[in-house]
C-alpha cells in the first residue's frame, strides 16, 4: 500500500506525563482513516505533532515516503497537510472569501485582489461540491457553512491530506449527512482524510480503516469492513460497553411539570415557542426531540427562568412557577444540566470544587451570615468528585483544566445532589465518549427510578430512543407528537421532526 | 508552583528593567546613575522624615490601587478612580469644614463616610449605565473624571467658598493628623490614614476571598452567563462592584483632604493618583497585598525623586521619565504575561 502519511512510533511527553507512547498511524492515499479514542486518549496530541505544533520525543514522520521534520504549522501546510479545527478559526466580521484567503491573499499592485480571490473560491467550492456564498459574512452563516469555509481554507492552501478534528460535534443530523458527502467528494478528487472522532456510527459509515488509541497507547489499526461498533467500543474503552441502556419500565406517577399554552420569544423577538403543552410525570424520562432551532433552547430557558415568558403557564408540583427568577426556580426543585457547559454550566476560572456550590453557596453550611466556609465547600466537592467519578488532580484544580467529560460529570453531580423534583438535562452527553455517555445515561435513569421527573433534550436520536420513556417531538415551537420509543422508528421520528404529521401519535 | 513564582517574578523584573532603562538614560544624558539612584533611595528612606513622607504618599496610592484592583477582579475596568477620588476628597473636606462642635468619634468617621459615599455615587453612575444599557464602563468613567474635576472646582469656588481658590482647613475633629506619627517621623506629613489604608487592604481581601458577596462578584466577573444560570443577579453585582470600587477611591480622596492637605483647592488638572492607581493595581497583580507593596514602591519613587535634583543634579524631567519607564515595563510585562496566558489557553484547546 502507498502511504501518504506515516507516523511511526511517536512518543510525546509533557512534564513526565506520557500523552503519546509508541503510536503508529499510516494513512493510505485516497482513504478516510479514523483516529478513535476516548477524550484525553491522546488523539489531539498526535495530530498536533503531525501539524507541527508539538515536537515528538521519539518516532518519525514520513510524507509520501520521505522522512520529514515538521517544526511548525506552516511547514505542515507546505507538505500539503491541512487541519479543519473543531473550534473554527474564523474572523466573524470578514466575508467567506476574506477568511479563506487570509494570510495568503492574491495581490495586485500591493492591494488584495478580491475579485480573483472570489473567483478562486467559487472554483474550489464547485470542484468539491462545497456550496458557499463567497460574499457572505461569517457571522451570518450557519455552523455547517462555517465548517465548509474551514475546509475550503485548507484546500485553498493546497492541502492533499485533511485532518478533521471532531467535525460532527457541532453539526445537526442533516449537516452531518452533507459533511459525509463532502468527505466522499474530497476522496474522489484524490485527497486523503484523517477523521478524529469518538462516534462509532460515523466511522462505520464513512471510514475505510480505523486506528484506535487508548490512554496514549496505540491499540492497533483495523479495517472497518472487518469490525463492528461493539468491537470498536471495547477496543477504545478497554472493556465491554453496552449501547442500549438497560432499564426497567417506567412507573410514572403524578405530574411534576405541567406546561400549558406556553409562548416564548427568542433573542431577536421572534416567537420561538408557540402555545406549547407538555407534561412530565414523576418517575419518567421525557425526551424532547427535534431539529436544532425549533424552540428547544427557548423552552428550557423559559422553564428555568432565564428567559421571559410571553404567555402561558409553567407549574411545578401544582405550583405556578411561571416567570420565576432562576434562583426561585432552582429553590422550587428544578435542577438544570445546561446545553453549553462552558457558557452556562461552569465558571471555568473557579476551582472545580468551588463550582460545586454555584447555586447553593449562599446556604448553610457553605456560608453563614455572608461569610463563605470554603472548608465545607471543598468537603462537599470531594464527596461529589468521588461519587460521580470526576477525574481531577484535586478539588482546587481550575474547572478549565478538566476534560469535557469530567466537567460534565461534575455538573451532573452538582445538579443531582440538589435532590430536585425535576431534572432538566439539555444535551448532557454532547461531545463525550462512550464511557462517559454510558455513565451519564445510567445516572439519568437512576434519578427516574428514584421517582424524579426527568426532561431530556437531545439532538442524538439514539440517545432519545434509548433513554426516554416518552418522546415529545418539537417542531416550530410546538409539541407535534408524543410517541412511545418502543413503538416508533427513527424514520417516523425523522418525519415528525421535519414537520410531517403523518403517523403522529396522540397529541397531549 | 511555577505559576506562583511568575506571579512574583514578573513585577520584580519589570521594576528592575525600568530602573535599568532609567540608568541608561541617565548615562546617555551625562549623569551618574549610581548617584542618581542613591539620591532616590535617600530621598525615600534616607531618614525618618523621608520615610514618613513616603508612607504618607503611599496612603492614597493604596486606596486608588485597591479601587482599580477590586473592579478588575470582578471583571470591570474602572478608569474613573481619579474622578471618584476628587469627589471623595471634596465631600469629606466639606463635612470636615461644615460641622463644628461634633465629637471626633463622630465627626471623623462621618467625614470619611462622606468621601466614601461620594466616590461610591461616582462609581454607581457608570455601573448603572453598564448594567442597564450595556454602556462600556471605560468610556463613562473617563468622562466622569473630567466631570469630577470641573464639578469639584466649581463647588470650591462658588459653593463652599466665596470665589476663593481653596476651602477652609477642616476642623480638628475631622482631621487625620497625628502628633504621634509626626513626632516619630521628624515632623513629616504622615497621618493616621496609613492605618486605614492597611485596614482597607485587609477588608478588600476578606470581601473578595471570604464572603458570599465576593464569591458572586468574582463569578460575575469571570462568566456572566454561568452566574445568571446559577441564580445570581448579574446587573446588581455589576453596579455593586463599581460602587465598592468607587468607595475605595473616595476614601483615597478623604486621605488627601483630611490628612495630607487638610483642605481642598482648585485643581487645574488631575492629581494623577487615580491613574497611578491603575499601575499600582497591575504591578500588585490585583491582590490586596500586592497593591500595598506596589503602592509603597510608587510612594517611594514619587517622594524620593524630589531629592534627585538636589543631591545628584539629575534634572526633574529625567526623574519623571524613569518613573514612566517603570510604569511602562510594568504595563508591558503585564501585557506579555497576558499574551502568554492567552496563547497557552489557545494551545490547550
Tens-digit pLDDT profile for residues A318-348: 999 998 999 999 999 999 999 888 889 999 9
Contact B71, B242 (CB under 8 A): yes
Please list the helix, strand and coil fractions of chain B in percent, rounded to the nearest 5, in that order: 80, 0, 20
Chain B touched by A343 (CB under 8 Å)? yes
Residue A205 burial (CB count, 10 A): 13
Cβ-defined contact of B212 to A348 (cutoff 8 Å): no
Contact B81, B64 (CB under 8 A): yes
Q: At what angle do helices B212-222 and B234-254 cross, to 10 degrees?
A: 110
Hey, of A55, A335, A358, A375, which one would you mutate to test binding to chain B, going by the most B CBs within 10 A of its CB? A358
Predicted confidence at residue B344, as pLDDT, reads: 57
Give Cβ neighbours of residue B2 (< 8 Å, ≥ 6 apart). none
Chain B touched by A362 (CB under 8 Å)? yes
- The three cell numbers locating residue B134: 450595556
- The three cell numbers locating residue B69: 484592583
Predicted confidence at residue B3, as pLDDT, reads: 60
| CATH number listed for the domain at residues B49-306 | 1.10.3470
- In angstroms, the separation between the Cα of residue A486 and the nearest Cα of chain B is 35
Positive or negative CA dihedral for B240, B244, B249, B253?
Answer: positive
Tell me: pLDDT of A505 over 50. no
The pairing of strands A478-483 and A319-320 is unpaired
> What are the pLDDT digits (tens) for A129-184?
888 899 999 888 888 888 999 999 999 988 999 999 888 877 777 788 889 999 99
Chain B touched by A346 (CB under 8 Å)? yes
End-to-end CA distance of chain A: 59
Q: Measured between alpha carbons, how far is residue A286 from residues A242, A292, A454, A464 in Å?
A: 22, 17, 6, 9
Determine which helix (DSSP H) or strand (DSSP E) holds B115, and give its type and residue range.
helix B104-133
Cβ-defined contact of B212 to A370 (cutoff 8 Å): yes
Hey, of B213, B223, B236, B341, which one would you mutate to test binding to chain A, going by the most A CBs within 10 A of its CB? B223
Chain A residues whose beta carbon lies within 8 Å of the beta carbon of residue B231 = 325-330, 359
> What are the pLDDT digits (tens) for A234-262?
888 887 776 667 788 888 889 999 999 99
Chain A touched by B208 (CB under 8 Å)? no
Hey, of B217, B229, B232, which one would you mutate to test binding to chain A, going by the most A CBs within 10 A of its CB? B229
In angstroms, the CA B122 to CA B307 distance is: 36
The DSSP string of A157-220 is TT-SEEEEESTTTT--HHHHHHHHHHHHHHHHTT-EEEEEE--HHHHHHH-SEEEEEETTEEEE
Chain B residues whose beta carbon lies within 8 Å of the beta carbon of residue A16 = none
> What are the pLDDT digits (tens) for A261-284?
999 998 888 899 999 999 999 999
The DSSP string of A80-130 is TEEEE-SS----TTSBHHHHHHTTS--EETTEE-HHHHHHHHHHHHHHTT-
Chain A residues whose beta carbon lies within 8 Å of the beta carbon of residue B215 = 354, 361, 367, 372
Q: Which of residues 57-116 of A touch B (CB under 8 A)?
A: 87
Tell me: pLDDT of A502 over 70. no
Residue B340 burial (CB count, 10 A): 12
Chain B residues whose beta carbon lies within 8 Å of the beta carbon of residue A336 = 229
Q: ipTM of the predicted structure?
A: 0.82
Query: For all residues of chain A together, what is the average pLDDT?
Result: 89
Contact A460, A169 (CB under 8 A): no
Predicted confidence at residue B6, as pLDDT, reads: 65
Tell me: pLDDT of A484 over 60. yes
Cβ-defined contact of B211 to A372 (cutoff 8 Å): yes
- Domain regions of chain B by residue span: 1-31+314-349, 49-306
Chain B touched by A306 (CB under 8 Å)? yes
Chain A touched by B225 (CB under 8 Å)? yes
Cβ-defined contact of A344 to B210 (cutoff 8 Å): no
> In whole angstroms, how large is the CA radius of gyration of chain B?
21
Q: Model-level pTM?
A: 0.78
Strand partners, A255: A281
- The three cell numbers locating residue B332: 508591558
Predicted confidence at residue B2, as pLDDT, reads: 54
> Strands across the sheet with A309-316, in order?
A271-281, A255-265, A309-316, A319-320
> What are the pLDDT digits (tens) for A96-132?
999 998 887 888 787 888 888 899 999 998 888 888 8
Predicted confidence at residue A139, as pLDDT, reads: 84
Contact B222, B230 (CB under 8 A): no
DSSP-derived letter for residue B76 is -
Chain B residues whose beta carbon lies within 8 Å of the beta carbon of residue A350 = 218-219, 222
The DSSP string of A438-504 is HHHHHHHHHHHHTT-EEEEE-S-HHHHHHH-SEEEEEETTEEEEEE-TTT--HHHHHHHHTT--TT-
Cell 493595581 identifies what position? B281
Chain A residues whose beta carbon lies within 8 Å of the beta carbon of residue B223 = 343, 346-349
Closest residue, chain A, to B348 (C-alpha): A401
Predicted confidence at residue A460, as pLDDT, reads: 83
Tell me: pLDDT of A380 over 90. yes
In angstroms, the CA B112 to CA B122 distance is: 15
Hey, of A347, A357, A375, A394, which one would you mutate to test binding to chain B, going by the most B CBs within 10 A of its CB? A347
Positions of chain B with pLDDT lower than 50, given as ranges: 1, 348-349
Closest CA to B59 of B303, B296, B271: B296
> Strands across the sheet with A17-28, in order?
A66-68, A58-63, A3-14, A17-28, A217-223, A209-214, A32-36, A192-197, A161-165, A81-84
In angstroms, the CA A382 to CA A405 distance is: 17
Chain A touched by B341 (CB under 8 Å)? no
Predicted confidence at residue A506, as pLDDT, reads: 46
Predicted confidence at residue A503, as pLDDT, reads: 44
Cβ-defined contact of B211 to A358 (cutoff 8 Å): no
Amino acid at each position: 500500500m502507498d502511504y501518504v502519511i506515516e507516523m511511526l512510533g511517536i512518543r510525546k511527553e509533557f512534564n513526565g506525563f506520557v500523552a503519546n507512547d509508541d503510536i503508529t498511524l499510516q494513512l493510505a492515499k485516497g482513504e478516510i482513516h479514523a483516529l478513535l479514542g476516548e477524550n484525553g486518549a491522546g488523539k489531539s496530541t498526535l495530530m498536533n505533532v503531525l501539524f507541527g505544533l508539538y515536537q515528538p520525543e521519539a518516532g518519525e514522520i514520513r510524507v509520501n515516503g520521505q522522512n520529514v521534520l515538521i517544526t511548525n504549522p506552516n511547514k505542515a501546510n507546505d507538505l500539503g497537510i491541512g487541519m479543519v479545527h473543531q473550534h473554527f478559526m474564523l474572523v466573524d466580521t470578514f466575508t467567506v472569501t476574506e477568511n479563506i484567503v487570509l494570510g495568503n491573499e492574491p495581490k495586485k499592485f500591493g492591494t488584495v485582489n478580491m475579485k480573483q480571490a472570489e473567483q478562486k473560491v467559487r472554483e474550489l467550492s464547485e470542484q468539491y461540491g462545497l456550496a458557499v456564498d463567497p460574499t457572505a459574512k461569517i457571522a451570518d452563516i450557519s455552523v455547517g457553512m462555517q465548517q465548509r469555509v474551514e475546509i475550503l481554507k485548507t484546500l485553498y492552501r493546497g492541502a492533499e491530506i485533511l485532518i478533521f478534528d471532531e467535525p460532527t460535534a457541532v453539526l445537526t443530523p442533516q449537516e452531518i449527512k452533507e459533511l459525509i458527502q463532502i468527505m466522499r467528494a474530497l476522496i474522489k478528487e484524490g485527497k486523503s482524510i484523517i477523521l478524529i472522532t469518538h462516534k462509532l456510527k460515523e466511522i462505520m459509515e464513512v471510514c475505510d480503516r480505523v486506528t484506535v488509541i487508548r490512554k496514549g497507547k496505540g491499540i492497533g489499526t483495523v479495517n472497518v469492513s472487518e469490525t463492528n461498533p461493539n468491537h470498536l467500543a471495547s477496543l477504545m474503552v478497554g472493556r465491554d460497553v453496552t449501547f442500549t441502556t438497560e432499564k426497567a419500565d417506567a412507573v410514572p406517577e403524578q405530574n411534576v411539570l405541567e406546561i400549558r399554552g406556553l409562548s416564548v420569544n427568542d433573542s431577536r423577538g421572534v416567537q420561538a415557542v408557540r402555545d406549547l403543552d407538555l407534561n412530565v410525570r414523576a418517575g419518567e424520562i421525557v425526551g424532547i426531540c427535534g431539529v436544532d432551532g425549533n424552540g428547544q433552547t427557548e423552552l428550557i430557558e423559559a422553564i428555568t427562568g432565564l428567559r421571559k415568558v410571553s404567555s402561558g403557564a409553567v407549574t411545578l408540583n401544582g405550583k405556578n412557577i411561571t416567570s420565576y427568577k432562576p434562583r426561585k426556580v432552582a429553590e422550587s426543585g428544578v435542577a438544570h444540566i445546561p446545553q453549553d457547559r462552558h457558557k452556562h454550566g461552569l465558571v471555568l476560572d473557579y476551582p472545580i470544587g468551588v463550582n460545586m456550590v454555584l447555586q447553593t453557596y449562599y446556604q448553610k453550611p457553605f456560608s453563614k451570615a455572608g461569610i463563605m466556609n470554603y472548608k465545607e465547600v471543598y468537603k462537599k466537592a470531594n464527596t461529589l468528585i468521588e461519587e460521580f467519578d470526576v477525574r481531577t488532580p484535586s478539588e482546587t484544580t481550575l474547572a478549565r483544566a478538566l476534560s469535557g467529560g469530567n466537567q460534565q460529570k461534575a455538573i451532573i453531580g452538582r445538579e443531582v445532589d440538589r435532590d430536585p423534583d425535576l431534572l432538566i438535562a439539555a444535551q448532557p452527553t454532547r461531545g463525550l465518549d462512550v464511557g462517559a455517555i454510558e455513565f451519564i445515561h445510567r445516572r439519568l435513569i437512576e434519578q427516574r427510578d428514584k421517582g424524579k421527573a426527568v426532561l431530556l433534550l437531545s439532538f442524538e436520536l439514539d440517545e432519545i430512543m434509548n433513554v426516554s420513556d416518552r418522546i415529545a417531538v418539537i417542531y416550530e415551537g410546538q409539541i407535534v407528537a408524543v410517541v412511545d420509543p418502543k413503538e416508533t422508528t427513527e424514520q417516523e421520528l425523522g418525519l415528525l421532526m421535519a414537520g410531517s404529521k403523518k403517523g403522529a401519535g396522540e397529541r397531549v | 508552583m511555577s505559576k506562583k513564582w511568575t506571579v512574583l517574578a514578573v513585577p520584580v523584573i519589570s521594576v528592575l528593567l525600568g530602573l535599568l532603562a532609567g540608568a541608561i538614560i541617565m548615562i546617555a544624558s551625562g549623569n551618574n546613575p549610581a548617584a542618581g539612584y542613591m539620591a532616590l533611595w535617600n530621598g525615600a528612606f534616607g531618614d525618618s522624615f523621608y520615610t514618613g513622607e513616603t508612607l504618607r504618599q503611599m496612603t492614597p496610592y493604596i486606596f486608588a490601587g485597591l479601587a482599580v484592583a477590586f473592579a478588575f477582579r470582578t471583571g470591570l475596568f474602572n478608569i474613573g478612580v481619579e474622578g471618584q477620588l476628587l469627589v471623595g476628597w471634596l465631600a469629606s473636606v466639606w463635612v470636615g469644614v461644615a460641622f463644628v462642635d461634633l465629637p471626633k468619634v463622630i465627626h471623623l468617621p462621618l467625614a470619611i463616610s462622606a468621601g466614601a459615599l461620594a466616590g461610591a455615587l461616582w462609581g454607581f453612575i457608570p455601573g448603572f449605565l453598564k448594567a442597564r444599557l450595556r454602556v462600556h464602563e471605560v468610556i463613562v468613567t473617563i468622562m466622569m473624571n473630567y466631570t469630577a474635576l470641573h464639578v469639584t472646582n466649581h463647588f470650591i469656588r462658588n459653593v463652599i467658598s466665596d470665589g476663593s481658590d481653596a476651602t477652609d482647613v477642616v476642623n480638628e475633629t475631622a482631621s487625620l493628623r497625628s502628633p504621634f506619627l509626626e513626632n516619630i517621623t521628624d515632623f513629616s506629613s504622615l497621618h493616621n490614614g496609613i492605618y486605614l489604608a492597611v485596614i482597607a487592604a485587609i477588608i478588600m481581601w476578606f470581601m473578595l476571598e471570604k464572603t458570599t458577596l465576593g464569591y458572586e462578584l468574582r463569578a460575575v466577573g469571570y462568566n456572566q452567563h454561568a452566574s445568571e444560570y446559577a441564580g445570581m443577579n448579574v446587573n446588581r453585582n455589576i453596579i455593586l462592584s463599581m460602587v465598592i470600587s468607587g468607595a475605595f477611591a473616595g476614601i483615597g480622596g478623604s486621605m488627601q483632604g483630611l490628612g495630607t492637605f487638610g483642605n481642598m483647592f482648585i485643581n487645574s488638572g488631575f492629581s494623577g493618583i487615580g491613574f497611578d492607581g491603575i499601575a499600582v493595581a497591575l504591578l500588585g497583580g490585583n491582590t490586596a497585598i500586592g497593591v500595598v507593596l506596589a503602592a509603597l514602591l510608587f510612594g517611594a519613587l514619587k517622594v524620593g525623586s524630589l531629592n534627585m535634583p538636589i543631591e545628584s543634579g539629575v534634572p526633574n524631567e529625567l526623574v519623571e521619565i524613569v518613573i514612566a519607564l517603570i510604569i511602562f515595563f510594568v504595563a508591558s510585562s503585564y501585557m506579555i504575561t497576558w499574551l502568554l496566558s492567552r496563547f497557552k489557553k489557545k494551545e490547550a484547546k
